Amino acid sequence: MNKKFTCIICFVLVMTALGTGTGLWCIYHSGNLLLYEATKESSDYSSSAIAERLSNTVDMTGMILADNSIQDLLSVASDFRASNNDKSKAFRTLSYVIPDYYQNFRQNGIYYINLYNPSYVTYSNPARYREVPPEITEALLAAAHEHPGDAIWVTDYCEEYGLFLVRDVRRAKDFQLDTIGTILVNINLNEVIQNSAGQVFDSAPPLYIIYKEGKEIYHSPKLENQAIPAISRAADYGTIGNPGSSCFFYTRGTIPEVGWEYLCLRPNDSVVQARFLSLFLSLSVIGLTLFASLLFSRKMFLSISRHFYRLLRKMNQFGKDEPLSPSTVFDYSGRTDEIGALHQGFDQMARQVQELIQKNYVNELLTKEMQLKALENQINPHFLYNTLESINSYAKAIEAEPISRMVEALGSLLRITLSKSTAKSVIESEVDIVKDYMAIIEVRFGDRVQYELSIPDELYHTPIPRLTLQPLVENAINYALEEIIGTFRIQITGKRENGMVILTVSNNGSQFPENVLENLETNQISPHGFGIGLLNINKRIKLQFGEAYGLHIYNVESEDLAVVQIRLPEDQKDI
């Protein structure tokens, strides 16, 4: 019992631990999800701000392309027929215009703007321009020429020289569309990202890694010496790094307009450490609580189980016919709880049983002796059969044929009804009993009784409880024959219908009370006489074959018939 109880307690505690652990995991996962949703919303807004600044830069180049004065000045610079004086005036004018655009749009992270034409270059900041090697500048201009008029983002040099936007200026006058200049804009991508993130995140701005077509084009300077593990492209958020060193919570997204993929990384060391510490403390407290619960439960069970062990010892003593001795360890006579009630009840029962044994022992011996004598005085069936045979022989000797038929039928009927054979009964054997019984009835009542037996031979081997048909026939005769003056007719038929074998016993001259079976079962009609037989037959059929089968009793008033149907299963296996 101790082992079973310990196993039950352990099972309950394990299930509790699993449930608690699952709850903690759900809380931990929900925390990640909430952090992701908060960070995702902020990073999406930040990425939209980045895209807006980049889009503003593209719009600025579009304004330069559409500026009529710039178109005219570039046309002069590109015209080989123009004088040097005209070209110098155009250069001086452009030297004021381009810096103005730079001053107006520098908050978008623009580092400098250069405007190239066949005659000269206009700079917004010559010192910054000289930081870029000439061969890179030539490559940038070539990229613009490959797509005349389109704004081209060049990301190949982001790590060293920043992000570049290049765009050819095409002559709009008279729709000539020849290239008269090229705009080159250098953007400090780190400044764009920091300014955009600073608008969203109140605390320290997050770190970014930006990819174009799967290739990294930018990472925040603070990640310069950080080894960022590879991140599954299927994960939209998660944690990377090791707590205690460099741990980040990341979200993945795409910068609108340009379609660059980014990772937004937020330092997560303190959060992760706090969450791991909370998880460790929670699991420790749960473990200690479960262990203390196990010890306490076991101690409480032992304090209760010892009283049951004492009760078991009393039962063992009582089972061995040993006299019950009062407990010397604990007195249960004054205890009012369930344990006290059990001990008090058992002690009282044991005393009463011992008294009953002493009082009834002699009476039991006398009763046994009387039963033996009653058994000795019972009629021996063999003696009865031999007597009937003697009567039959005598009747034949004096040529009393009716008496001989009655005796033969009675003998056959008694052999079947008094037989203790365990063989299963079938409809054929029930029909034989009815034939013997009706042979006696025909001798008694002559032509007053007419009966018809119409059961197909194919139904004769259908199993049926013993003594089912004959009691129904006897009931019909006993309750109707005395009430009818004319001819009494009884009909026994059989058929298959709706997957059942249905035997019908119908007679004239009597009527069943309404709902006779239901009223007998609920004692609304006293089950005396044949009522007991009807209930007995109905219950035996239901017990053997199921609730769907049994007796169905009704009247056909138009023909003055009382009908009993016996419903049996058609397909019977292993019955």
Decide: 81 and 189 in contact? Cβ < 8 Å.
Answer: no
Beta-carbon-side half-sphere exposure of residue 422 (alpha carbons within 13 Å):
1
User: Average pLDDT for residues 36-56, to the nearest whole number?
Assistant: 80
Highest mean pLDDT among 24-33, 65-74, 376-385: 65-74
Beta-carbon-side half-sphere exposure of residue 464 (alpha carbons within 13 Å):
28
In the chain, the number of structural domains is 2
Lowest mean pLDDT among 48-62, 141-155, 172-186, 400-414: 400-414
Decide: 487 and 450 in contact? Cβ < 8 Å.
Answer: yes
- Residues 291-349 pLDDT 10s: 887 777 777 777 677 777 777 777 777 766 555 554 446 677 777 777 778 777 777 78
The H or E element containing residue 240 is strand 237-241
**pLDDT at residue 378 tops 50:** no
Burial classification of residue 515, based on how many CB atoms lie within 10 Å of its CB (0-12 exposed, 13-18 middle, 19 or more buried): middle
Decide: 145 and 179 in contact? Cβ < 8 Å.
Answer: yes
Highest mean pLDDT among 30-39, 111-120, 230-239, 497-506: 497-506
Decide: 192 and 105 in contact? Cβ < 8 Å.
Answer: no
Residue 128: per-residue pLDDT: 77
Tell me which amino acid residue 341 is: A
- Whether 81 maps to a domain, the answer reads yes
**pLDDT at residue 566 tops 80:** yes
Confidence class for position 532, pLDDT limits 50, 70, 90: low
End-to-end CA distance of the chain: 43
User: Average pLDDT for residues 564-571, to the nearest whole number?
Assistant: 90
Residue given tokens 């919570």 in the structure block: 249
The CA-atom distances, in angstroms, between 349 and each of 341, 342, 343, 429 are: 12, 10, 10, 52
- In percent, the amount of the chain with pLDDT more than 70 equals 73
Coil, strand, or helix at residue 490?
strand
- Residues 406-426 pLDDT 10s: 766 676 666 666 655 545 689
Residue 417: per-residue pLDDT: 63
**Listed residues 244, 268, 285: the one ending a domain:** 285
User: Average pLDDT for residues 538-566, to the nearest whole number?
Assistant: 89
Tell me which amino acid residue 564 is: V
**Listed residues 260, 285, 310: the one ending a domain:** 285
Q: Does this model's pTM top 0.75? A: no
What is the secondary structure of 186-210 as a DSSP string?
Answer: EE-HHHHHHHHHHTT-SSSPPEEEE
Please provide residue 334's backbone torsions phi and psi, each rounded to the nearest 5 degrees: -100, 5
Cα–Cα distance, 538 to 527 (Å, whole number): 13
The CA-atom distances, in angstroms, between 424 and each of 462, 463, 574 are: 10, 7, 11
- Whether 230 maps to a domain, the answer reads yes
Residue 81: per-residue pLDDT: 79
Highest mean pLDDT among 202-216, 261-275, 377-391: 202-216
Decide: 96 and 69 in contact? Cβ < 8 Å.
Answer: no
Residue 74: per-residue pLDDT: 85
The H or E element containing residue 391 is helix 381-397
Residue 375: per-residue pLDDT: 42
Contacts 24+ apart (CB under 8 A), 6-9: 6/298, 9/293, 9/294, 9/297, 9/298, 9/301
- Whether 41 maps to a domain, the answer reads yes
**Listed residues 265, 285, 305: the one ending a domain:** 285
**pLDDT at residue 496 tops 90:** yes
Query: With b meaning 16 or more CB within 10 Å and e meaning fewer, what string describes 133-167?
Result: eeeebeebeebbeeeeeebebbbbbbeebbbbbbb
User: Quick one: which of 319, 341, 340 has its CA closest to 330?
Assistant: 340
Confidence class for position 503, pLDDT limits 50, 70, 90: very high
The set of residues, in sequence order, having a beta carbon less than 8 Å from that of 129 and lying 6+ positions away, is 112, 114, 123, 186
**pLDDT at residue 199 tops 70:** no
Decide: 78 and 180 in contact? Cβ < 8 Å.
Answer: yes
Highest mean pLDDT among 198-207, 256-265, 415-424: 256-265
**pLDDT at residue 244 tops 60:** no
- Whether 400 maps to a domain, the answer reads no
Pairing of strands 550-556, 561-569: antiparallel
Both tokens assigned to 217: 């084009």
Higher pLDDT pick, 419 / 14: 14
The CA-atom distances, in angstroms, between 287 and each of 14, 290, 299, 498 are: 10, 5, 18, 65
Cα–Cα distance, 373 to 380 (Å, whole number): 14
What range does the domain containing 535 cover?
Answer: 451-569
Confidence class for position 377, pLDDT limits 50, 70, 90: very low
User: Average pLDDT for residues 57-83, to the nearest whole number?
Assistant: 86
- Cα 498 to its chain centre, rounded Å, is 39
User: Average pLDDT for residues 73-93, to the nearest whole number?
Assistant: 83
Decide: 165 and 58 in contact? Cβ < 8 Å.
Answer: yes
Q: What is the 3-state secondary structure (H, E, C) of 313-340?
A: HHHHHHHCCCCCCCCCCCCCCCCCCHHH
Both tokens assigned to 410: 């009675």
- Whether 107 maps to a domain, the answer reads yes
What's the CATH number where 42 sits?
3.30.450.220
DSSP percent split of the chain into helix, strand, coil, nearest 5? 55, 20, 25
Helix axes 427-445, 401-417, angle to 10 degrees: 150
- Residues 96-136 pLDDT 10s: 888 999 999 989 889 999 999 888 888 888 777 778 888 99
Burial classification of residue 507, based on how many CB atoms lie within 10 Å of its CB (0-12 exposed, 13-18 middle, 19 or more buried): buried
User: Residues 330, 336, 340, 342: what is their CA dihedral angle, to the nearest 10 degrees?
Assistant: 170
Decide: 335 and 304 in contact? Cβ < 8 Å.
Answer: no
Cα–Cα distance, 497 to 514 (Å, whole number): 25
Residue 217: per-residue pLDDT: 87
- Whether 421 maps to a domain, the answer reads no
**pLDDT at residue 288 tops 50:** yes
- Whether 373 maps to a domain, the answer reads no
Beta-carbon-side half-sphere exposure of residue 372 (alpha carbons within 13 Å):
6
User: Quick one: which of 244, 245, 211 has its CA closest to 225?
Assistant: 245
- Whether 382 maps to a domain, the answer reads no
What's the CATH number where 481 sits?
3.30.565.10
Residue 191: per-residue pLDDT: 87
**pLDDT at residue 386 tops 60:** no
Residue 273: per-residue pLDDT: 60
**pLDDT at residue 268 tops 70:** no
Question: Which letter does DSSP use for residue 456 in this model?
Answer: -
